[in-house]
Chain A
Amino acid sequence: MPTDQADQGARSPTGSGSSRPILQYVDVYKRFGDVEVLRGLSIDVHEGERLSLIGPSGSGKTTVLRLAMTLEEPTDGLILYDGRLLAGEPKGGGDRPSRRARRQMARDFGMVFQQFNLFPHMTVMRNLTEAPRRVLKLQKDEAAQRALNLLEQVGLAGLEYRYPQQLSGGQQQRVAIARALAMQPRVMLFDEITSALDPEIVGEVLAVVRDIALETSTTMLIVTHEMRFARHVSDRVVMFDGGVAVEAGPPEQIFDAPLEARTRDFLRAISHGY
Chain B
Amino acid sequence: MELYQLTIHELLDRLRVGETTSVAITASVFGRIDTVEKEVHAYITLMRETALAEAERADERIRKGEIGALTGIPVALKDIFCTKGVRTTCGSRILENFIPPYDATVVEKLRAAGAVFTGKTNMDEFAMGSSTETSFFGVTRNPWDLDRIPGGSSGGSAAAVAADECIASIGSDTGGSIRQPAALCGVVGLKPTYGRVSRFGLIAFASSLDQIGPFTKDVEDCAIMMNVIAGYDPRESTSVPEEVPDYRRFLGREIEGWKVGIPKEYFIAGIDPEVEAAVRRAIRVVEGAGAKCIEVSLPHTGYCLAVYYIVAPAEACSNLARYDGVKYGFRSGEGRDLMEMYKKTRAAGFGAEVKRRIMIGTYALSSGYYDAYYKKASQVRALIKRDFDEAFAKCDVILTPTTPTPAFRVGERTDDPMQMYLSDIFTISTNLAGIPGISVPCGFTAAGLPVGVQFLASHFQEGRLIQFASAYEKQAHIEQRRPTV
- B and A form one assembly: no
Q: Please give the residue numbers on chain A whose beta carbons come within 8 Å of chain B beta carbons, in ascending order.
A: none
Q: Please give the residue numbers on chain B whose beta carbons come within 8 Å of chain A beta carbons, in ascending order.
A: none
